[in-house]
Amino acid sequence: MTDINDYLWETIYVLKSVYDHDPDAPVLNMYRDSVIDGDYVGEIAYNSINQFFADTREYYDEEKELDIHVFFDPVITEFWKLCDEYEERRRIRPEDDTFRKDMCRALDAALYIPDYSYDFRLYSDTKHKNGCRLVLLCYCEFCGYHYIPEALSEACDCFVFHTKQIKRRWRRWTGRK
Amino acid sequence: MQVDLNVLRQKLKETPQEETVDSTEVNPYLLNEVLRPLLAGKELRYGDIDYSRFEADDLRMISHYCDIRDRVICRLYELVGGIADSAPSACSGRAFC
Cα gap B73→A145, rounded to integer Å: 31
CB contact under 8 A, A16 and B59: yes
Cα gap A120→A37, rounded to integer Å: 30
3-state secondary structure of A129: coil
Is any Cβ of chain A less than 8 angstroms from the Cβ of B85? no
Cα gap A40→A42, rounded to integer Å: 6
Among A66, A28, A52, A26, which residue's Cα sits nearest to residue A149? A52
pLDDT in tens, B28-43: 999 999 999 999 999 9
Structure confidence at residue B97 (pLDDT) = 64
Closest-approach residue (CA) in chain B for A31: B46
Structure confidence at residue A177 (pLDDT) = 52
pLDDT in tens, A9-25: 999 999 999 999 999 99
CB contact under 8 A, A150 and B56: yes
CB contact under 8 A, A2 and B44: yes
Angle separating helix axes A41-48 and A6-21, nearest 10 degrees: 20
Q: How far is A103 from chain B (nearest CA, A)?
A: 24
Is any Cβ of chain B less than 8 angstroms from the Cβ of A35? yes
Q: How far is B22 from chain A (nearest CA, A)?
A: 18
Q: What ipTM goes with this model?
A: 0.83
Query: Cβ-count burial of A11 within 10 angstroms (0-12 exposed, 13-18 middle, 19+ buried)?
Result: buried
